Amino acid sequence: MNQDLKVNFSPVYRIAQYLSLIMLILIPLQIAVFIISPPPATVKGFFELFQQSPFLGLLSLDFLYLFNNAIIAVIYLALFILLYNEKPVSVILAFMLGLIGIACYYPSNPAFEMMTLSHQFTQALPELKSIYLAAGEAVMASYTGTTFNAYYVLSTLCLLLFSYAILKSRHFHKSVGLWGLASGFFMIVPSSAGKLGMVFSLLSLVPWVIFVILLISKFKKLALNHPE
């Protein structure tokens, strides 16, 4: 695409490079939050956490992933531009599925809804508190509901398609695509699928981090307008 349209996409690659670096910081931060302060097991526990520390409450409900997924969209855009000439069908499908998946994630995240309900629960009369607890239960049900699972499945398909295109590309070493496929393999089981899903989700992060590191190296070269 970049050759046919004769457009200099170096700024896109540079933005993708910097945002990928930020992502590598966000991932361990999110893991550290869950280890140091595991999320409450009940809606009431979340309400109490928000009253004690609103920011920690947000972090406990994947607040950082709101930024993480926006970064992923830019990374996928950079890959789409780079790989379009070689594998147009694969990357069009990958980019489309990835964007739809990311769009599904945002309404599934209940961080700010739970913050609002927490304030209302605290201020409510004792006989009305059960209403806000029920509302919290409904909100948390959507946390791992249809939109979240759609996000997870579509994101997995997106990553697998991009990884396949990378494997077939002259711009990348095959190891980059293989790490992407490895991450996609562990994402086949959604994180919402109980303990197995959580294990697979954590395992997927290892090849994903390596995949992103390798992409950063490639984006850096492309940003200087010296592709291999």
Q: What are the tens digits of pLDDT across the range 2-30? A: 444 467 889 999 999 999 999 999 999 99
Position 3 in a domain = no
Residues 37-45 have a mean pLDDT of: 91
Domain annotation covers residue 143: yes
Around Cβ 23, how many Cβ atoms within 10 Å?
22
pLDDT in tens, 59-109: 999 999 999 999 999 999 999 999 999 999 999 999 999 999 999 999 999
Per residue in 202-222, pLDDT (tens digit) is 899 999 999 999 999 999 999
Nearest to 43 by CA among 134, 144, 155, 170: 134
State the pLDDT at residue 2: 46
In a domain, residue 193? The reply is yes
Please check whether residue 1 lies inside any domain of the structure.
no
- Residues of the domain holding 73: 10-223
**Euclidean distance between CA atoms 201 and 187, whole angstroms:** 6
Give the model's confidence band at 45: pLDDT under 50 very low, under 70 low, under 90 confident, else very high: very high
194 sits in the region (left: phi over 0; alpha: psi -120 to 50; else beta) called left
Cβ atoms within 10 A of the Cβ of 109, count?
Answer: 21
Phi, then psi, of 171 in degrees rounded to 5: -80, -15
Of 154, 217, 148, nearest in space to 184 by CA: 154
A 10 A CB-CB count for 152 gives 24
Please tell me the predicted confidence (pLDDT) of residue 1.
47
4 within some domain: no
Task: Specify which of 88-97, 118-127, 142-151 reaches the highest per-range mean pLDDT.
Answer: 88-97
Rounded to two decimals, what is the model's pTM? 0.88
User: Is residue 228, in this structure, part of any structural domain at all?
Assistant: no
Backbone φ and ψ for 145, nearest 5 degrees, come out as -95, -150
Closest of 71, 55, 176, 166 to residue 118, by C-alpha: 55
Q: Residue 96 domain-assigned? A: yes
Confidence of residue 226 (pLDDT cuts 50, 70, 90): low
Number of domains comprising the chain: 1
